[in-house]
């Protein structure tokens, strides 16, 4: 109820009642100034408050223990063999997916998941991606990287029921991404048509435990702003199921930002520093614990953990963190 309703309900000039109201006003003062309801403090001391309540089985996250393995663990890198054909098949179809505990989103997917499957090739492979549109809207696949204009996923719009095969040599090496480039672009991206695209360098990278983390958001109420934020599509999933890594082994994360609506997203690791290779396309790195990525920006993170235990990782935008983009590494010996 609005305060305004009281604005006209006060103060009538009137001499006799005013005089009579004087003593009573005192009574009102005493009552009004010391309402017994006002607490001296808001209360503390609950055991399950804060982050302590947001790790492990109690976390409100959807899915089972191994549901995201296919998105988290990329296919193995292959050695450099120029001209080798690498084939993938992507089918676009509409699917309602659970993106936060109990919250269902009518997504547009590649192969049924958001993000779509990880596509991986070695530089100079011939990449052949067959795309079938099983959805109700026209879609494309637009790959980042170097390729001919007619393989760019901009002009060759694939209508529902049709298919198209993208074919081009994979280059340059680095961490890339792919997404639908149909219009309206915002709609086609935020509905879920995107994924990670890794091109390995001719000289293999050092051995590591490799992970893919695609940062994204979901606008569940259609107001042009995200209601939930995740990595790999499920809010708080890695808080409920921490990612188990070994202290003795380098952890390599292929990190991409495919968040729509919000201009930037970020990755912050607790208790550790990491090497960050922007776009993963050179040996240049920054030694840091926080990186900021614009929409479509991506890179490679390499961590050598010094300690064991639970280490949080999350967007350093607190809002994103508390709306689902938060998880833990469980570092073991």
Partner 1 sequence: MATDVAVRGRGARARWRLWALLPLVLLVGAVSLYAATASSLTGLLGSSPPPADEFDIRRVEFEPGKITIRVTNPQADDLTIASVTVDDAIVPFRLDGPGTLGRLRSSAILVDYDWVEDEPITVGVTSSTGIETAREIPAAFETPAASPRSFLGYGIIGFLVGIVPVALGLLWLPSLRRARPEWLAAFMALTGGLLAFLGLEALSEALSLQAALPGPLGGAGLVLLGVAISYLALTIISTRLGAAEVERGGLVSGVALATLVATGIGLHNLGEGLAIGSSFALGELALGTFLIVGFMVHNVTEGLGIAAPAAEGSGRVGPGRLVALTLIAGAPAILGAWVGGFITSDLLGVVFFAAAAGAALEIVVEVGRYVARRAPGGLTSPYVLGGFFGGIVVMYVTGIFAG
Binding residues vs partner 1 (CB under 8 A): 1-3, 5-14, 16-18, 20-21, 24-25, 27-29, 31-33, 35-39, 41-46, 48-50, 53-54, 58-60, 99-105, 218, 220-221, 227-228, 235-236, 319, 322-324
Q: Least distance (Å) from partner 1 to the CB of residue 104?
A: 6
Q: Least distance (Å) from partner 1 to the CB of residue 54?
A: 7
Of 81 and 318, CB closest to partner 1: 318
Of 23 and 83, CB closest to partner 1: 23
Cβ–Cβ under 8 Å, residues 305 and 267: no
Residue 120, CB-side half-sphere exposure with 13 Å CA sphere: 18
Cβ–Cβ under 8 Å, residues 218 and 62: no
Strand partners, 199: 121, 174
Of 55 and 68, CB closest to partner 1: 55
Of 12 and 76, CB closest to partner 1: 12
Q: Least distance (Å) from partner 1 to the CB of residue 296?
A: 24
Q: Least distance (Å) from partner 1 to the CB of residue 29?
A: 4
The string of DSSP letters for 172-227 reads S-EEEEEE--PSSHHHHHHTT-EEEEEEE-SSPPPP-EEEEEEEEEE-TTSSSS-S
Give the Cα separation of 263 and 265 in Å (integer): 7
Q: Least distance (Å) from partner 1 to the CB of residue 92?
A: 21
The string of DSSP letters for 290-311 reads EEEEETT-EEEEEE--SS-EEE
Of 60 and 63, CB closest to partner 1: 60
């Amino acid at each position: 109820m609005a305060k305004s309703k009281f604005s006209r309900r006060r103060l009538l000039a009137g001499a006799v009642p005013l005089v009579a109201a004087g003593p009573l006003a005192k009574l009102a003062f005493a009552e009004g100034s010391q309402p017994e309801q006002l607490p001296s403090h808001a209360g503390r001391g609950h055991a399950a408050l804060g982050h302590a309540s947001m790790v492990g089985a109690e976390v409100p996250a959807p899915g089972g223990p191994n549901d995201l393995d296919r998105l988290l663990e990329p296919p193995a890198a292959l050695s450099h063999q120029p001209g080798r054909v690498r084939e993938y098949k992507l089918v676009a179809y509409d699917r309602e997916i659970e993106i936060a505990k109990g919250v269902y989103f009518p997504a547009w997917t590649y192969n049924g998941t958001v993000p779509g499957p990880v596509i991986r090739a070695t530089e100079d492979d011939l990449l052949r991606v067959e795309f079938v549109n099983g959805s109700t809207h026209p879609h494309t696949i637009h790959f980042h990287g170097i390729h001919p204009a007619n393989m760019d996923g901009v002009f060759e719009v694939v209508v529902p029921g049709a298919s198209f095969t993208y074919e081009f040599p994979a280059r340059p090496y680095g961490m890339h991404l792919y997404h639908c480039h149909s219009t309206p672009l915002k709609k086609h991206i935020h509905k879920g048509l995107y994924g990670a695209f890794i091109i390995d360098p001719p000289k293999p990278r050092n051995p590591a435990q490799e992970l893919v983390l695609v940062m994204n958001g979901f606008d569940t109420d259609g107001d042009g702003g995200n209601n939930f934020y995740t990595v790999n599509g499920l809010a708080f999933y890695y808080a409920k199921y921490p990612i188990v890594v070994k202290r003795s082994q380098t952890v390599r994360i292929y990190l991409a930002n495919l968040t729509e609506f919000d201009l930037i997203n970020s990755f912050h690791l607790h208790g550790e520093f990491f090497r960050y290779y922007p776009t993963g396309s050179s040996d240049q790195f920054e030694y840091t614990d926080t990186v900021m990525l614009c929409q479509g920006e991506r890179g490679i993170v390499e961590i050598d953990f010094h300690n064991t235990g639970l280490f949080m990782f999350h967007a350093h935008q607190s809002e994103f963190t508390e709306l689902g983009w938060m998880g833990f590494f469980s570092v073991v010996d």
